[in-house]
A = this chain, B = another copy of it.
Amino acid sequence: MTAFAWRHNIPMRILFYADNTKVQPWVDGLREAIPRAHVEHWLPGAAPADYAVVWAPPQHLLDEQPQLKAIFNIGAGVDALLQRRLSPSTLLVRLDDAGMSVQMAEYVCHAVIRHFRELDAYEREVAAGKWSFRKPRLRSDFPVGVMGLGVLGERVAKAVAHFEFPVVGWSRTPKTIEGIRCFAGPGEMDAFLAATRILVCLVPLTPETENILNGDTLSKLRPGGYLINVARGAHLVDADLLALLDSGHLAGATLDVFRTEPLPAGHPFWNHPKVNVTPHTSARTLREETIAQIAGKIAALAREEPIAGVVDRERGY
């Protein structure tokens, strides 16, 4: 139907919904990128549309538009969308990179370097007026393990390897990445954790991966382990991390995502001396790149060509 409309110059209809960002720049950007389309803010009672571009739309809006050919998510993780009931005929499409993987590589490399080079400690000492000396640590003592080797995970693993850290990776299905020792599946998780000192979590959030960062898995990291969670807060059992930090098995953590966001006032992560908190800023959606990618995918769908990033609802990502 959409291909028909496109070919016959019947205006394509696109709806935009997001509750965490300004709507107008997105609507304007989509209009500019797809001049033949009618683009509007998705409100109750909208006329039936061909496509929707969204972040976490409410169920009642989705229920009104079962004919949607595709829903484009403007973030990398589709876990919020998969909690909704969706029409079986609607394609669910995740964002592929669009400037996110380089941001993720930056954020993770910054956290790895800051921990390995003890830059937090130097900073505290300098703030106290102290010119200090610390014995350099050996890179070989700080193997980095990347859990999840999708677009983001692979980019992060390669960026860390660029700084000559030993790097291992784990994914649900086997992967091959040059220079990275790759483990796969539940059967190789323990070996992956035992080979890891700095753990980077980048798996999608699914029923299987919820709470995957728990006392059992985190205690299998090498002594002095360090956690960097840049995936979803629901991957982590907060109390288990705190216990392992207190026992000294883990040296610290950098956390960008939380079970409840914003992180609630009074949560122990806010002021924990071994925890660095950032407000979900590791990889932000960049509007221009995202609109360009979605416009390209809509054009491909209109030509009845396959597109990348279609979510497998069974698998959950």
Contacts and interface: CB of A to CB of B under 8 A. Distances in A.
Interface string A103-117: 101110110011011
B106 A163 contact: yes
B162 A281 contact: no
Interface stretch (A127-135, A168-176, A235-243, A301-309): A127-135
Interface in A251-298: 261-263, 265, 270-271, 276-279, 281, 284, 286
Interface stretch (A40-48, A66-74, A118-126): A118-126
B270 A129 contact: yes
A213 to B, nearest CB: 20
Interface string A123-156: 1011101011110100100000000000000000
A194 interface: no
A133 B286 contact: no
Contacts of A284: 136
Given A110-B110, A117-B281, A131-B262, A164 B102 contact: yes
Contacts of A270: 126, 129
Contact of A278 (B105, B126, B277, B279): B126
A281 B123 CA distance: 12
A244 interface: no
A162 B119 CA distance: 22
A163 B105 contact: yes
A265 B163 CA distance: 34
Interface in A180-195: none
A132 B278 CA distance: 9
Contact of A134 (B132, B133, B271, B281): B281
A141 B262 CA distance: 29
A155 to B, nearest CB: 10
Contacts of A91: none
A117 B109 CA distance: 12
A234 interface: no
A265 B128 CA distance: 11
A148 to B, nearest CB: 20
A113 B159 CA distance: 13
26 contacts: A102-B139, A102-B163, A102-B164, A103-B117, A105-B162, A106-B113, A107-B113, A107-B117, A109-B110, A109-B113, A110-B110, A110-B114, A110-B119, A119-B278, A122-B281, A125-B279, A126-B277, A126-B278, A126-B279, A127-B271, A129-B265, A131-B261, A131-B262, A136-B284, A159-B163, A162-B162
Given A106-B113, A122-B281, A132-B279, 20 more contacts: A102-B139, A102-B163, A102-B164, A103-B117, A103-B136, A106-B117, A106-B163, A107-B117, A109-B109, A109-B163, A110-B110, A110-B114, A117-B281, A126-B270, A126-B277, A126-B278, A131-B261, A133-B279, A134-B281, A159-B162
Query: Nearest 9 CB-CB pairs, A to B?
Result: A131-B262, A110-B113, A131-B279, A106-B113, A136-B284, A126-B277, A102-B164, A122-B278, A106-B163
